[in-house]
Amino acid sequence: MNIAIVDDSREEQQIIHNAVADWAEKNHQRLNFLVYDNGESFIADLDSRSFDIVFMDIYIWIS
C-alpha cells in the first residue's frame, strides 16, 4: 500500500508516520511511505506515482 504524507511540519509528518506504521505492524500490512513538505512537490509526483491513501495538511504555509 502506498501512503503519501503531505505536511510542512516535520513533527506532524513523524506523528502521522508513526501512528500509521504502528497500525500496519499490528495488522500485518506492508506500507510504502513518501513524505512531502509541500503540495507542489506532491502534485508534481502524481504523474509518476499513485497512492492508496494521502494524509494532507490543509493549512500549509506558503512563502
- The pLDDT tens digits of the residues spanning 3-51 come to 999 999 999 999 999 999 999 999 999 999 999 999 899 999 999 999 9
Quickly list DSSP for 20-50: HHHHHHHTT---EEEEESSHHHHHHHTTT--
Whether the pLDDT of residue 62 is over 70: the answer is no
CA dist 63 and 59 (Å) reads 13
